[in-house]
A and B are shown apart, each in its own frame.
Chain A
Amino acid sequence: MNYSWDWGLLFRSPHIGWIAQGFVTTIEMAVLAWCIAMTLGSLIGTLRTLDNPIAKRIGTLYVEIFRNVPLLAQLFLWYYVIPELLPASAQKFVKRDMADPQFWTSVVGLGCYTAARVAEQVRSGIQSIPRGQRSAALAMGFSTAQVYRYVLLPIGFRTVIPSLTNDFLGVFKNSSLALTLGVMELTAAARQIEEYTFHSFEPFAAATVLYSCVTLLVISLMRVVERRTRIAGNVGTAR
Chain B
Amino acid sequence: MSGFDWNVILNNRGLLLQGLAVSFQLTLVAIAGGMALGTVLAMCRLSRFRPLAIAAGSYVNFLRSLPLILVIFWFYILTPQIVGHPIDAYSSVLIAFTLFEAAYYCEIIRAGIASVKAGQVNAGLALGFGQFHVMRYVVLPQAFRNMLPVLLTQAIIMFQDTSIVYVVGVRDFLTAADVVANSNNRPVELYSVVAVTFLVICFTASRLVGRLQRKYAL
Contact = CB atoms under 8 A, between A and B. Distances in A.
* Touch between chains A and B, by CB atoms below 8 Å: yes
Interface of A: 1, 3, 64-65, 67-74, 76-77, 80-81, 84-85, 169, 173-177, 179-180, 187, 190-191, 194, 200-201, 204, 207-208, 211-212, 215-216
Contacts of B206: 64, 67-68
B contact face: mostly helix, strand, loop, or mixed: helix
A204 B72 CA distance: 11
Contacts of B28: none
A80 B193 CA distance: 13
Nearest to B178: A76
A contact face: mostly helix, strand, loop, or mixed: helix
Contacts of B163: 70, 72-73
A148 to B, nearest CB: 26
Contact of A180 (B68, B160, B161, B166): B166
B70 interface: yes
Contacts of A85: 188
B198 A200 contact: no
Nearest to B203: A68
A216 B61 CA distance: 9
A77 B191 contact: yes
- A-B pairs, top 6 by smallest CB distance, nearest first, are A215-B65, A68-B202, A70-B160, A173-B67, A176-B67, A70-B163
Interface stretch (B73-81, B114-122, B140-148): B73-81
A73 B77 contact: no
Contact of A212 (B66, B167, B174, B187): B66
B188 A81 contact: yes
B38 to A, nearest CB: 18
Contact of A207 (B68, B70, B192, B198): B70
B73 A71 contact: no
Contact of A81 (B67, B156, B187, B199): B187
Contacts of B195: 69, 73-74, 77
B132 interface: no
Nearest to A207: B70
Given A76-B187, A77-B195, A191-B73, A69 B202 contact: yes
Nearest to A201: B77
A208 B194 CA distance: 31
A187 to B, nearest CB: 5
Given A3-B81, A211-B65, A69 B70 contact: no
Contacts of B161: 70
